[in-house]
Structure 1
Amino acid sequence: MTGLLNNNFITQIGILVNDIDKVSQAYADFFGVAKPEAIITDTVDKAQTEYNGAASEARAKLAFFNMGSLQLELIEPDQHPSTWRDYLNEHGEGPHHIAFVIEGMKEKITLLESKGFPLQQKGEYTGGRYAYIDTFKELKVLIELLENDNK
């Protein structure tokens, strides 16, 4: 497979919202599924969150809808500086990113930066790590890289 990610399979679409409970209920009603429980991202000591190269206290409430091969992620950010907060302030509610599962996070970030797509935010989650790449100018949405630890 060609391309910068060696993977063209979109695994997730992330949508920024102001009220995760309200929007989660709307999606649940629309799709006729149970409303997922929202979770809160880890604190900076666990998540090691960095935004634009600096540590950030940013956290967000997340709700996930598993829709076949694609996951829909709703994101309600707190007020700390983050890709989520700044994007929501600038663009309003709506699509934020499309995500791909990759291997070799550091190498992929380096490759994408060399092509003019800078790292915007990164962090850890239980079982892996994520990175948001600023592809908005060209792709009109951010790309999120997800790397899961091998079990």
Structure 2
Amino acid sequence: MLKDVLGSNVITQIGIIVKDIEKTSQAYADFFGIEKPQAFWTDAVEQAQTEYNGNSTPARAQLAFFDMGSLQLELIQPDEHPSTWREFLETHGEGVQHIAFVVEGLKDKVQIMQNGGMPLIQKGEYTGGRYAYMDTVKDLKVIVELLENDK
């Protein structure tokens, strides 16, 4: 098992796959007594450069973020294209798909994890940074997402 790979033990985000982002966002907003965030679509493949299992994919998802103090809840409603989000929904149904950590040196962290038997599942760009989903399910029982924000 790899040790101290990320340089951080602070969970930044919990990602939850949902079928109906509007309904689920409203349920969370009501439960916590807060305003429902506006859901939005991830960028198209031309901007996001999304790759799933090593192949380019036009996959997109609607996202809604709840900032809960030091932790963010991310609701994800995937489109129909191949992605880790779609695979999770089809295989497991709705639920917690990943935990995320902010890292520096994403490319190096991905390589170290892959060399340690934790393959890259999906990666892409977002405004202000990039992400990588790593297959850590065997050891950690959940996918780990690495987030690297531009400085």
Q: Same fold (TM over 0.5)?
A: yes
Match of 2:100 in 1: 99
What is the distance in 2 between the residues matched to 1:92 and 1:108? 29
Q: Which amino acid aligns with 1:4?
A: V
* CA apart distance, 1:139: 1.2
Partner SS, residue 25 of structure 1: helix
- Listed one character per residue, the Cα deviations across residues 97-147 of structure 1 (whole Å, up to 9, x for unaligned) are 000000001100000001100000000000000000001122111000000
Cross-structure match for 1:81: 82
Aligned partner of residue 89 in structure 1, secondary structure: helix
- Residue in 2 aligned with 1:16? 17
Give the drift of 1:19.
0.2
How many angstroms apart in 1 are the aligned matches of 2:18 and 2:92? Answer: 11
SS of the aligned residue for 1:80 comes to: coil
Aligned to 2:73: 72
Paired AA for residue 32 in structure 1: G
User: Quick one: distance in 2 between partners of 1:6 and 1:129?
Assistant: 17
Q: Which residue of 1 aligns with 2:117?
A: 116
How many residue pairs match? The answer is 149
TM-score of the aligned structures, taking structure 1 as reference length: 0.97
CA RMSD of aligned residues (A): 0.7
Within-5 A mapping of 1:131-146: 131-146=132-147
Letter in 2 for 1:132: Y
1:37 positional shift: 0.3
1:31 aligns with 32
What is the distance in 2 between the residues matched to 1:92 and 1:140? 16
Give the whole-Å Cα distance in 2 for the aligned partners of 1:137 and 1:17. Answer: 23
Query: Which aligned segments of 4 or more residues in structure 1 are displaced greater than 3 angstroms?
Result: none
Structure 2: where are the runs of 5+ without partners?
A: none
Deviations 1:43-65 (A, max 9, x none): 00000000000000000000000
Query: Counterparts of 2:75 and 2:138 in 1: how far apart (Å)?
Result: 23
Match of 2:19, SS? coil
CA distance in 2, matches of 1:49, 1:55: 6
